[in-house]
Each structure stands twice: as C-alpha cells, then as structure tokens.
Amino acid sequence: MMDQPRCSLPDIIGTSELMRRRKRYAHSGSVWPVKELTWKVRSYPQASSLSPDLVRTLLFYALQAWGNASALTFREAPGAGADILVDFSRSFHEDGYPFDGPGSTLAHAFFPGEHPISGDTHFDDEETWIYDPQAKQQGQQGVGGGLAGGT
Ligand SMILES: [Zn+2]
C-alpha cells in the first residue's frame, strides 16, 4: 500500500522551506474557481530512474489524498491541457523561478486561481528523484507519498 502523502503540494518544497512551513502554514487566500480539477504530467524526469508510469501513479495517489482532505476532485486530463500541469524542469524554465541545481529547493507550485499557471507544479530535475515508500518513516523529504528528492 502507498503511504499517505506528507504534504499536499505547498508552494515551495525544499529543505529549509519544508522546516519553516511545518511551523507556519502558508495560505494565499486564493481558491480554485471549480472543484473538479484536471492534471497532466507535461514532462518527466530525465536524470532519475523513475518511469513515467510511476510518476503518474505517485501523483494520482498524492492528488487522491489531497482530494480526500478537501472538497476537490482530481482527474488526469486525456488531452494536452489541464488545470494542473506538472513538469520536471531545470534551472530557468520560463516562470521566473529558476531552480538551483541539486539540493535546497526541490519543487514549487503555484497557488490556485484562474491564471493559466495556477496550480502548476514544477520539480527540479537536477535532483535525484526516487520512489522510497520508507521515506516517511525515515524522516526524509517526501512528496506524493514517497517521491523523494535529494542529492
Ligand atoms: Zn517553475
């Protein structure tokens, strides 16, 4: 069985940020205009051994847990577009928030809303992403129930 995800896509996931957000929950006040959201993985990790199917499976369970804890439902989009586009990107990737290479910031996501980038979630592809079901117990950083990044 999958572990319960440890977080529901905070805006920034990183070593120091993760520690800070445990103490102070970030709430932007922005909300989704609809409750039924679609998601799509637009690009997959190039530098890690995670298969596209596993990435999609992990995100499915992460979003299912988010849905269970909220009024939202999530469905993988059949076409190209989606409310939540997921990318594994490096350095500068056209959103003004360049990644910093291995370590530190691991991922970030945009707050809900009606802008095209709202909800989009980016993972730093210079991290080594692994699937580790034990990550929760070991106290490692984990996203989506065991998707862990590190150097
Ligand atoms: Zn980004």
How does residue 90 score in pLDDT terms, banded at 50, 70 and 90? very high
Domain ranges, residue 98 = 12-23+33-150
Q: How far apart are CA 38 and CA 76, in angstroms?
A: 5
**Does any domain span residue 6?**
no
Residue 64 has pLDDT above 60, yes or no: yes
- Global pTM reads 0.75
Gap from CA of 150 to ligand 1 centroid (Å): 18
What is the C-alpha separation between 106 and 102, in angstroms, rounded? 8
Q: Are 106 and 14 in contact (CB under 8 A)?
A: yes
The span from the CA of 135 to the CA of 4, in Å, is 11
Please give the distance, rounded to the nearest whole angstrom, from the Cα atom of residue 140 to the centre of ligand 1: 22
- Distance CA(123)–CA(94), nearest Å, equals 14
pLDDT value for 136:
59
Q: What is the distance of C-alpha 18 from the center of its chain?
A: 13
- Residue 3, domain member (yes or no): no
Q: How far, in Å, from the CA of 1 to the mean position of ligand 1?
A: 31
Torsion sign across C-alpha atoms 15, 21, 27, 32: positive
| Residue 61 located in a structural domain | yes
The answer as to whether 2 is a domain residue is no
Note whether residue 46 is domain-resident. yes
In this prediction, residue 29 carries a pLDDT of 78
For the domain that residue 90 is a member of, what is the CATH number? 3.40.390.10
| % of the chain exceeding 70 in pLDDT | 71
For the chain, the domain total comes to 1
Residue stretches of the annotated binding site for Ca(2+):
83, 100-101, 120, 124-125, 127
Annotated binding site: 7, 83, 93, 95, 100-101, 108, 120, 122, 124-125, 127
